[in-house]
Each structure stands twice: as structure tokens, then as C-alpha cells.
Amino acid sequence: MKSQTLGKQGPKISALGFGCNGLSLQIPRNDEESIATIHAALDAGITLLNTADFYGMGHNESVIGRAIKDRRDKAFLSVKCGMMMSPTRQVLGLDGRPASVKNFCSYSLQRLGVDVIDLYQPCRVDPAVPFEETVGAVADLIKDGKVRYLGVSEVGAEHLRRAHAVHPVMALEIEYSLACRFIENEILPTARELGIGIVAYRVLADGLLSGAVTSEPTGPHARLAPPRIQGENLIHNVAVVAQLIELAKARGVTAAQMATAWLLTRGDDIFPLAGINRRSRVAENIAALDIALTPQELADLERIFAAGTIQGERYPPFVQKFAAK
């Protein structure tokens, strides 16, 4: 497993991370398989485990806590807080008040069964609370020995600078993929200027880039589907991704592996999160690290996924208003 330094002066962690949210979204849940999957990832050298206290309403942290009980030294825990959600996954709002952040951290420490969280980050900017106060609460937790490093999530360049002025920011978690490249204009250059690593999530753009999504989502959670996988946007975007699938097929790899390999070419400060929901998928995801894209393949991907090619917002309106621009 390739290791990279997180941020300018952070620890060395695996170049590929494990986005654990999917372990709590499975119906029905299978905690024993989830624990075995985490063990397989850790044994393969993936150290970055990414979660949030609102993933599965605490379920995700509890599963991770069971999985790392005897393997704490192998795991780098990244935890988000601040999203208020109903049991039906309806977003109720944000809470970035300092007292709330510290309270959230206490519960996360208990569910994870650890004394310290490696990377702790507000999941969004709470518009009702000065961001400096929210970040300051994490800085207090670092002083108290409950957190090692400050992270932020889904913030633009301005809020990134504001946070960094309060306490050094080690990582920015934000969406980045072939299908979603908005951070390249201002956010990524700012992060690099400040020496902040990028933890990239939704690297397959809701399944678009793997070819898994070809029809509109149905069922109770369809309202959570982003516009880019609905209606005319979906038809257009599937046609675009078909070109990626053909490129990957010619190379003898999957479209998901090629999309992840592309992200790994963007710099040693980029840490893609792989969504792995069963142990059999660990090796498939890690294989992306061994794919060296040719200059022609890179040029083809730049042409296919030029800025603005993928149509539709990345979140439904009630979440998009809280997203970074």
C-alpha cells in the first residue's frame, strides 16, 4: 500500500481511504460482514477510515469501534460531525455551536471505543454560527487531547482560509472526481498554498463513473438522489460515461478503477475514498493503485470529462444550499 503525508506536516497514511458510510446503508445490515470488510482493508494496508456521527445515526461508528477494538494502531480515524438528521435520513439542519461540537465528539469517542480521534471535522459550515467558533471548538479538543488534527469538509476557499487562521487545517474533505472538478479552480490551489491535504469523496459520482447507475433511483430514498442522476441529466451523463467504460475495457480494468487511478494522478496530496461494502471488493479497489495511466489515456479522459460536461447538480436542492461552491 502506497503511503502519503496528509497535509504539510501531518502523518503518513494510506493513499487510498475507506469511506465507511455504505456499511450502514445496506438493507439489511450485516455487521459481521462489515467488520470483516474493515479487517480486510486494514490487513491490506488501508489505514484511513472515514466516518461521521450521523452515518446510520451512530451505527457506523459503533461498527468501526468493534472492528478496530484490537487494531487501533492500524487505523487513522476521520470523523465528521454537525449534520442533524431524522431516522429517515431527512436533513434537519446543521449545528456548529462549540458546545455541540464538543458534545458530538464525546459521543463519537464512546461509540468508537477510543481515547482520541485522529482527524475531526465539521461536516459543513453552519450559517448561524461564525465558522471561527466552530473550528475553535475542535482546536480546544486538540488541546484537551481528544483530537489529533483539525479537518474541514465541504468548504470553499474563503472558509478554508478562515479555519486555517484559527488552527492549522490538516485536511479538506470534499467531492472530487472525473465527473466533479469544481475544486480545481480555486479551492484546490488554496489548499495547496496552505499545505492542506484533499480527502476526495464520491469519487465515482453516485455510481455514474462505475457504470452502475443507468436508470433513475426508486424507493424511499429516491428523494435524496442528486439531479445529475435524474431525467435528461442522467441520459446525457450515462452517454458520457460510456466512453470511460470503453477506455477501461480496452485497458482491461473496470471503469471504477480507471476513475480512481485518474484521481491518484492529480497529486500526492489527494486521498480518494473508496466505498467498500464487502470484503471481496477490497482487492478490486486497491488494484487501482497499480494502474499507471498513459499520456494518451489521460488526454482522452481530459477530453471526455472537460469542465461542464457532466450535467446536473451533485446534491438535491435542500442539501446543495449547504455545499461548497
Angstrom distance (rounded) from CA 185 to CA 176 = 12
Residues whose CB falls within 8 Å of the CB of residue 242, separated by 6 or more in sequence, listed in order: none
Rounded mean pLDDT, 117-134: 98
Contact between residue 24 and residue 60 where contact means Cβ atoms under 8 Å apart: yes
Angstrom distance (rounded) from CA 147 to CA 75 = 14
Backbone φ, ψ for residue 139 (5° rounding)? -60, -40
**Given this model, what pLDDT does residue 222 score?**
76
Angstrom distance (rounded) from CA 116 to CA 101 = 15
For 288-315, write each residue's pLDDT tens digit: 999 999 999 999 999 999 988 999 999 9
Instruction: Please give the model's pTM, rounded to 2 decimal places.
Output: 0.96
Contact between residue 286 and residue 43 where contact means Cβ atoms under 8 Å apart: no
- The CA-CA-CA angle for residues 34, 35, 37, to 5°, reads 65
For 55-91, write each residue's pLDDT tens digit: 999 999 999 999 999 999 999 999 999 999 887 777 8
| Cross-strand pairs, 5 | 12
**Given this model, what pLDDT does residue 220 score?**
67
Task: Give the right CATH number for 3-207+256-292 from 3.40.50.300, 3.40.50.720, 3.20.20.100, 3.50.40.10.
Answer: 3.20.20.100
**Given this model, what pLDDT does residue 156 score?**
97
pLDDT at 266 over 90: yes
* Torsion angle, alpha carbons of 94, 98, 101, 102, to 10: -160
Angstrom distance (rounded) from CA 49 to CA 66 = 13
- Residue closest to 81 by CA, chosen among 56, 112, 102, 59: 102
Angstrom distance (rounded) from CA 40 to CA 297 = 31
Residue with cell 467488520: 35
Contact between residue 238 and residue 244 where contact means Cβ atoms under 8 Å apart: no
Residue with cell 486555517: 164
Joined together, the cell numbers standing for residue 200 give 476526495
Angstrom distance (rounded) from CA 260 to CA 217 = 23
pLDDT band at 219 (very low <50, low <70, confident <90, very high): confident
The residues annotated with a catalytic role in the active site are 55
pLDDT band at 119 (very low <50, low <70, confident <90, very high): very high
Amino acid at 92: L
For 154-210, write each residue's pLDDT tens digit: 999 999 999 999 999 999 999 999 999 999 999 999 999 999 999 999 999 999 999
Pairing of strands 76-81, 117-122: parallel
Q: What single-letter DSSP state applies at residue 180?
A: B
Average pLDDT, the chain: 95
State percent of the chain over pLDDT 70: 99
Residue spans per domain, the chain: 3-207+256-292
Reduced to 3 states (helix: H, G, I; strand: E, B; else coil), residue 298 is helix
Angstrom distance (rounded) from CA 96 to CA 1 = 36
Joined together, the cell numbers standing for residue 218 give 426508486
pLDDT at 257 over 70: yes
How buried is 87 (Cβ within 10 angstroms: 0-12 exposed, 13-18 middle, 19+ buried)? Answer: exposed
